[in-house]
Each structure stands twice: as C-alpha cells, then as structure tokens.
Chain A
C-alpha cells in the first residue's frame, strides 16, 4: 500500500495563497491538510504527523507591525520545540512570500550558518530580514531568477526560471557581513533575480533592491527553502504572461518542479528510509 506523503499547509488570519499551495502538492500525489495555527498551538493537530511544512503567502495579521512578525513569534515561542524536532527529523519546510518572511523573522532561515552545529541548539534567532521594497510600494510583476546552489527543493530546475513576485516587503538584508559570507560559503543562496538572459539585473528586474539580488535562500541542509517569488503561480504553462503563442512542451510551468522535488524527496528518502531503519 502506498504510504501517504503528508503536507501541512499552515494558515492563520490573513493567509491567502494556501489554496494554490495545496493544489501544487496535491498535483504530485501528496495528501495536504490546510491547518490553522490555532489547532497546532492547542495540539489538536501535531506537526510530527507531517513530512512537509508549507507556509504560504498572504498577509498574516495584515502585515501589521511588519510582515510576518506575529506569526513568526507564534512559531518561535509556541511551536519552537516541535519545529526543532521536525527539522531534526530531516523533514522539509518551504515558505513562499509571506511564508519566507515568517521563516526569516522566526530565525528558521537562514538558520545556523555553522554546518557542524545543529540549527536549533540555541533556539531560533533572527539574523536577516525582509523589508520594504526600494520602490516603496507593493508590486506584482514577473521576475527572472537564476537558480544557484544545490538543494532538495531546487534540483532539476532550469538554470533561469520565471516566477511572479507580489510583495511590498521583499528586500533581503542580512544582519551582518558575516551572515552574507556564510550564506555564500554554504551555497545557501537558492535564487537571485536576474535579467531575462540571466545577467546582472536592474530595477525592476530586481524588484525590491535585495542584497546581492537575493530572492530565495535555504538553510545549510537545503531542506528548508524560503523565497519571495511565487512558483505556485507559474504552476501551469498558461500562467505565464507570455505563454500565448509559445511552443507548449509541458502542460506545467516553471514552478511545478519545486513541489515535485519536495514530494519526491519524501517518497524516496523519508518514506523509504522508514522501511530500512
């Protein structure tokens, strides 16, 4: 009997990309539950029963105070232990847009930059941020992204992918030069904004003024990914702004591979491991 690949799509007040996130994982055969944080905090539902934690985009708590802050605190202060165990168990986490902001502000990303140490020994500590775009406004636009580094989530992607961003606070800033060097050294930079040809971007190709044009990062293991652009919005070929008139090689769009990677990792690693262990 096939074992279920279980994905928890986390939601709370103001989450709004949960439907398309769930659809993306379900497409590849995962079983997805969209769960309100309240149920996790009350232990009605347990994180350990899932293989992938997916934090979708939206405006949790209205982006009040700053984007992601309130849910990040809830995760850090009320589910910290569960999360640490989840990570320890080599399970996957993905945060898109507001989900990325939450992971960064909870200190889950970039996490501990020292490969030797387990990332939650000292608890989660914020070491970077995502702040107001240089343009000073929310923008929904399509961006080209160079795929860098190697990780569970990003393998088999084309070298340059095309995803839309839709955010007001997507400018990545590390706390210090050390953090930035660590990210580079560990190959934790997963996506950078680039020109259509893959070259150095200028605004609006880099839509927010991010340091080193960073659009997405992983933790040291590559099992936790956060990115501002929305791969789930280029899930189907026809989601692209320029699909019409292009040759259709695949019914899926550039973003689908990421979700496929997540599901396949669980199938090939976590579920098969359990048999052998």
Chain B
C-alpha cells in the first residue's frame, strides 16, 4: 500500500529551504510572497505496517532535533485547506525523472531491517503566505520546471496508484525509406527528430536500396546519432567554401576539413614530445611526471542547460567527468573548471523571449547543477569564468572541464575480438532520448515541448561509485578498453568501440529502470552514469565482482565479433544489422558556404572629460569584472587536499587569482596550473584577434603564477551560431585560423577540443545568435609549487612594475561597454613580444624575484592594480606617465582601461630591482609606483594630476556588490 509521510521543521528551527524560495521569489519579481515553508514528502509503496512506518520516520526520515513527522495511508489523505492569502502546493518529479533520493530511502529502510520497499517517490510541499493569484507564477518561475516536474493534484491524490510505465512493444518497426521521394525523406528526418539533411538521407537510402530492404527504426536512429553534428562534427570535418575580403578584394578558397587544417595542424607542427595522446581519445593526454600522465577535456552542455539549467549543468559535469574516466584505461579526476555565458541577471522581463527562462534563474540553476555534481563527486572546481552579454538570452553557454591523472602504462586501450561488452553504472531509462541529434538543431519556442526527453538530472553518487570501482578494476588490469556512455548512449559507445571489429549486443540484457522501453530506446537512451568496458572473457567474473563490491551494477550485454557489423537483438529478434564501415564512413562529405567581411563599425568619440574615480568604480562593478565569490564559494575547490593557489587568495581571501594551482600527488611539489581565456566581445569585431587574445589570456594566467610557458597545452571550444548560415560559418573559420596561427606562434599545442554549433534562438521570424564564442582552456605543468606567486600585493614599500606595452586597444573593452560602445581597435596580440615577456617572467619568478603578479585583462591596468591592492589590503600610488605605452590616443583613460594583451603588473622588493630588471631585459617594463601601507588607491595622470583617488575598501565593495546574492 501507499504511505504518505510528511517531514517538517519543529517550531523555532530555521527553515533554510523555505527562506531560499522566498528570496528567489523576490529576486524574480514576485515580491508579494511573504513567507514560504517547506515540507518534505515521501510516498512509500510497501507492505510495512503502521508501527514500522513510524520507525522509518523516527530513525531514518526525520532528525530528532530539528524536525517532526506525520504519516497516513495515502488513501486517507485530506487535501489541505487553501485560502486567499495562504496556499499549499506540492511539486513532484514527473514519472521517469531521476530522483537519487528514492534509492537512498530504499537502502535506508533495508538497513533498518524492516523489509523491502517497492518504490519511493519524493515531493516538496510549499506553504505559501501571499496572495493566491501569485502562486501560479511562483510555481512556474521558481518552484517547478514542467520538463521534469509537475504540481501534484490534491483532488485526485487519494486515488493515485503507483505509476507504471506501460508495456513494451516487441514488434520490429520498419521505416518505409527505400521508396521515399525527397520530400518524404525530409519528413522522416523531421518527424523522427533525426536532424539529417537531404544528402544524408539519400546516402542512407542508397545503402538500404543496395542491401534490398528498409531499415528498422533502430538502424535509422543509430545512423542519425552517429552522423549527428554532436558526434561527428560535420561542420569542422566537412568541406567549406570560404569567401572573404582581403584588402578590398573578394577571394575564395576551399577548406578541406577545418579541424585538420587549423587545430590539428598546429599540434602536428609543434610536435611536442610530451603530448602523449591528442584528438583521438575522450580527452587530450600530456606527460605529468615520471610515473603519470594528465588528461584534460572541456565539454559544452548548452542546449539542455537552456531548458533545465540545474539538470543541464549537472549532467554536463557528469558527462565530462566520464570523458576523463573513459580516457585511456581510465584516469582519476583531479579538478574541474567551469565557464558560463549568460545574459545579464538584471535583464528585464520584457526582454526575455517566450519559451526561455530568465537569465538569473538560468544562472542560479546552472551554478547549483555544477555544485551538486562536482561537490558530490569530490572533485575540486578550481577555476572558471562567467561572461555576461544580452546575446546569450536564448542560448546560455555552459562549458564544463575536467582534468584527470593516470599511470603512464594505462594510456593505451585496444578492443580484442571476443572481448565481452560490459555495461556498468546507472540503469537505462527514457532519459535524454535524442540528446545528440537535438543539440544539432536550433532552439525554438517549441523546443521545450518537442525535446523534453533530452533533459535529465544526474546522480553523482552513482558516478562516484563507478569511479571508485573502475579504478580498482583498472589497477588489476581486468579490462582492455573503456569508453563513456555520453550523447548517443550505448549506440555511440558500443558503435565507437566496435568500429574496427564489429559488435553483437543482446538488448534484453541491459538493466532497465522500468519496463516499457522499446529496443531502440534502450539503444539510444542517454541515461547518465554508465560506462562501457571491453573485458577479456577470462576476467569477466572478477570484473563483475569488483563492481559488486562497490554496489555498482555491471552486466555483460554482448561481445566484439570481428565481423565488422553492428548486430543488435531484442527478444531473440534481430533489430539491427549495419556495416560498421557504412556507419562510420558512409556519410556524404557536405560542403558548406562560409563568408567573412569585417563588420562596419564606427569609432565613437569619447567625452573629453570623464570622472575616472566614478568610472573605475563602475568598471569594477561591471558584471564581467565583479567578484564571482557567490559562485566560487558554492563549489568545493579544495577537496582532495592539493589546493595551492585558490580562486580567491590573500589575507581576507578576496583577491581574484589568475591560474589555479594544485598538487595532484600530495606531498609532491609538482603541480598543475589551470586557466581559461574567453573574450566574446572581441569576436564581434574580429574573431581572428579574439582567438589570439584568448590564447594569450590563458597562457598569460599560467605565466602569472609561475608556470613554465614551454609546458602548456591548450583546448579549443567553439560555441557558434548556425553554421548553415555563411556569415556565422565565416566567422568560425576566421577564429579557427586564428587558433592555428597563434597556437603555433605561442608554442602551445591543442590536445583536445569541442564544438557546439546552432546556438541560435528562433522566435517568430527573428533569430538571436550568440556572438561566436571561443573558450581556450590551458593546462600547465608547474615544477615546484612552493615557488608559485599569487596576485595580492604583499609588502608596503615594494615597487610596482608595469610589464608589457600598453596600446590604443579599447575595442571590445569593458570600459567602452560602460560608455555604450563596442569600439574597433580590439587587442591584437604580438606573439613574438609576448613570448619574450612570458619567458623573462618565468625566469624572474623561478629566481624568487617576484612578490606578486597579476595579468591585465578585462578592465585593463586599472582593474589589475585595484584587485592587487584590495586583495592584499594595501594601498597604491602609481603614475600613468611611467607606463610603457605606444599609440596616438594618449589619454589617462586609454592607459588605465586599454585591454592590450601580454601585460602584467608585478610587485618587486626594492632589493630585487636590479635582478628583476636584468631578467626582463628587452621587455617593455617600468616601475610605475609603489605599494603603500595606507589603504588608498592613488593614480597620477599624464599631466601629473591625481586622476584616481579612492579607498581600497570602496573599490572592493564596488567589485563585490553586484553578485552578492
């Protein structure tokens, strides 16, 4: 029978959850909600009797100090009385949505020795004080996302029965393909959410015509999924007809495989011997020390995060962690880095398009999703960035990165004929059906209806168990290969592993969350927390034992055949037989058109007189500069115990670091530095120079902390609009070409990358495209972490050096943004000069000559100085006429706010002056002032007048205030 249990707070105990809801309501403009209290509801389907349920409540479900409980058979439930000013509402998950708490409650009751429970459902009941007519808005804006949750209907609750998922259809469905005309082919593609174009549909048709039969639905899905943009990267690997204007002339050329001719080419040319495995595994691998390699991968999870921010980000993190688990024979995750792009959190409701969530809700959800998964996995989130721009309103970007470490002899994997296919981890349900193909199309107002299956919630503890078990199995050498179940599910994982040999799978063997799944659903489901292993038959028993010892389900579902075919069976019927060669190489190479012309931008004249005190405070509080402490503190950035340079440093832990540094092996001095470079505003002017700026920023942050510039590897991550539109693709080509050019010039190889295209939001006839956004993530090896340097000023009387030449490069800057302008002169990196500077600073830091160092990036020199000052709780006097400068727009604000690349501010003790300058010989570098013991921030302008005079606490407050939620 069904028991309904309610757990609520005792009188006088602070209800943190209720308080949180009240606050969110006010944040999102539902100010008339005065108070919300939360009651946790559990519905148990079991044969326990009254007294046993009471034991469950007392000993498991409630805390004796803070909570009280009540319970009744659900059939006796009496709906609460509703009022005009008091409403009780209850939100529950939709059937089939992952709710990890269910499993924990079942386990907990088993531990009590009271017997088995058939099922557990959880819900949250909210007692809302506020006008009843506001409640529906509270439900849609704050409490529930209809893609995963619903409001419980109290009127019928009494009659409710445990949910059933229906029965499976066992009939094999054939799709009428071989006789279809073009129009019918496209209809099949659209109706089946295959996102395949006409050429691709025709190629599939030709294949089946040739073998003389129609495909099963499962076969068609498998092909669609393998050929999807998400899995196959058609744009990057296809042909591009690129038209561009050069010195007033229109030119045209064909690019064959953009990826190989830019990103991969840079790595090939650089040919670093410490690059161990690049581009072909789930993550790029580089050498760490004499025993270990490290691997790094950054993924995006944009589309799901737009629809369900918590679940999207949650499973995004889960996915990239599995990439690390699936690299080589498996690496242990050691840190995460996350970068987001959102519309500004104060966006007015009228500017939020129908079908999208408010950016503040998106941001809160995404941050919670990352927090939940990362923290529960026990992986420190050490670094990140958030960029705000109105163009991300329809398509927020969520980049999730993870780094892993593995023994050197675990980097190679190979599937052998006869190896068993073992699937481990979470069970398979309807989650995320069509996720891979869905991310290969634009979002529309209809997306939330059409694609709701693509949204899911993660179960980090399940993945943690998989991690714990698989590292034991790895170290015992029990398997020959592993890969993750990501987009495309088993189809993708088994298809990839069996590419050379072929695979035979019995879909009946796959453990399911509930009955009622069709064979094709089992095959393409993207249920989370699953990994696929190739296990020699003799090791299977021990393999299954290891996983059982960590309470992880592991099952043999088939084997690798050597027949070079993909063969699937369900209830003893064959449902798929495809040639691996067709599946992996049969897709037509498409040619896309790309076109690039520089945008026609006007230079606006800046006012002659600007109050720089006021302006600096405004810049400090700009969303793209202000403190992200609210986010950082919610992430555990220190678990695993190896934290050396944290995201926030200094005496009061409020100085924003450059790269983060960790020691993956406790007690060893060898470390890793992790950083990111992202500058989408430069892309609005020229994506080529954006690429340069991103690479420079990522590298320079590692140089800041003392990481050697010759041991840095980078990742690319392109998020762009619809590549079928020539201008979008043109700008992508231009960024990719910049990547090649500057990676080679800086000597930093790409080791892995990712692209997420179609980031456009279609509403009526308008589309909102994101600015082409490139994220460069960098990983550097640090020989001795005890010699690293943080960014906060440390000692009054120290000299402040400006290192690197400042130029007239306010284009795309935060400063111009505060004046409502984009500008034209974006920073143009000078690799030769940059490398000279980086190497010289490496020398200076390794000799212990640098007390503190911080890079000049968003907001320029002014922001750098301010952050170093309040980070160290020390004052500054500095003179702008001493700043190394070249240009024609010689103004105080140019020097303060220009975002020229490759620049730093360094603190040097007076006694180290000579040695420091000797180390920096040939690099533009000058003492511009000194660190003061008094908390004043004083800048003298070009005319020797005081142009900025502020207290450091006011600068700090301006910087902290905007996102202090």
Chain A interface residues (CB < 8 Å from chain B): 11, 13-17, 19-20, 23, 27, 36, 38-39, 57-59, 61-66, 69-70, 73-74, 77-78, 105, 126, 128-129, 131-142, 164, 166, 173-175, 209, 230, 232-233, 235-236, 238-239, 241-242, 244-245
Contacts and interface: CB of A to CB of B under 8 A. Distances in A.
14 contacts: A59-B460, A61-B104, A64-B105, A65-B61, A70-B108, A73-B60, A132-B17, A140-B638, A175-B65, A235-B666, A239-B641, A239-B643, A244-B788, A244-B852
B101 A62 contact: yes
Interface string B405-432: 0000000000000000000000000000
Given A38-B551, A70-B104, A136-B20, A23 B641 contact: yes
Nearest to A58: B378
A129 to B, nearest CB: 4
Interface in B351-383: 371, 375-378
Contacts of B170: none
Given A17-B639, A73-B59, 9 more contacts: A17-B641, A59-B376, A61-B104, A133-B16, A138-B371, A166-B638, A175-B64, A235-B641, A241-B650
B376 A62 contact: yes
* Chain B interface residue number, banded: 35 or more
A173 B633 contact: no
Given A129-B65, A138-B371, A23 B667 contact: yes
Contacts of A166: 375, 636, 638-639
Contact of B464 (A13, A69, A174, A175): A13
B39 interface: no
Contacts of A36: 549-550
B111 interface: yes
B915 interface: no
Counting from the closest, the 6 A-B pairs by CB-CB distance are: A16-B378, A20-B641, A64-B104, A132-B16, A245-B794, A129-B65
Interface in B537-558: 549-551
B404 to A, nearest CB: 14
A128 B63 CA distance: 9
Contacts of A129: 63-66
B63 A245 contact: no
Given A16-B378, A58-B378, A241-B649, A233 B643 contact: yes
Nearest to B380: A140
B786 interface: yes
Interface in B627-651: 632-646, 648-651
B107 A61 contact: yes
A19 B641 contact: yes
Contacts of A139: 633-634
Contacts of A239: 638, 641, 643-644
A14 B464 contact: yes
B786 to A, nearest CB: 6
Interface string B239-283: 000000000000000000000000000000000000000000000
Contacts of A138: 371, 375, 634, 636
A140 B104 contact: no
A241 B646 contact: yes
Contacts of B887: none
B108 A242 contact: no
A230 B642 CA distance: 13
Contacts of B637: 140
A241 B17 contact: no
A77 B55 CA distance: 13
B590 interface: no
A133 B16 CA distance: 7
A121 B763 CA distance: 70
A40 to B, nearest CB: 13
A238 B63 contact: no
A43 B189 CA distance: 58
A13 B461 contact: yes
Contacts of B377: 16
A230 B101 CA distance: 27
A131 B107 contact: no
Interface of B: 13-14, 16-17, 19-20, 23, 59-61, 63-66, 100-101, 104-105, 107-108, 111-113, 371, 375-378, 459-461, 464-465, 468, 549-551, 632-646, 648-651, 653, 666-667, 785-786, 788-790, 792, 794-795, 851-852
A64 B635 CA distance: 18
Contacts of B788: 244
Contact of A244 (B111, B653, B794): B794
B473 to A, nearest CB: 15
A73 B14 contact: no
Chain A CB within 10 Å — which of B63, B464, B634, B640 has the most?
A: B63
Nearest to A59: B376
Contacts of A17: 378, 639-641
B119 to A, nearest CB: 15
Contact of B653 (A57, A62, A64, A241): A241
Contacts of B464: 13-14, 16
Contact of B14 (A20, A62, A134, A175): A134
A129 B644 CA distance: 33
Contacts of B638: 140, 164, 166, 230, 233, 239
Contacts of A244: 645, 649, 788-790, 792, 794, 852
Contacts of A232: 641
A32 B353 CA distance: 57
A64 to B, nearest CB: 4
Contacts of A23: 641, 666-667
B81 to A, nearest CB: 28
Contacts of A135: 16
B333 to A, nearest CB: 11
A27 B667 contact: yes
Contacts of A245: 790, 792, 794-795, 851-852
Contact of B60 (A38, A65, A131, A242): A65
Given A61-B461, A140-B637, A166-B638, A126 B378 contact: no
Given A141-B633, A239-B644, A242-B649, A126 B639 contact: no
Nearest to B378: A16
Given A62-B460, A242-B649, A128 B640 contact: no
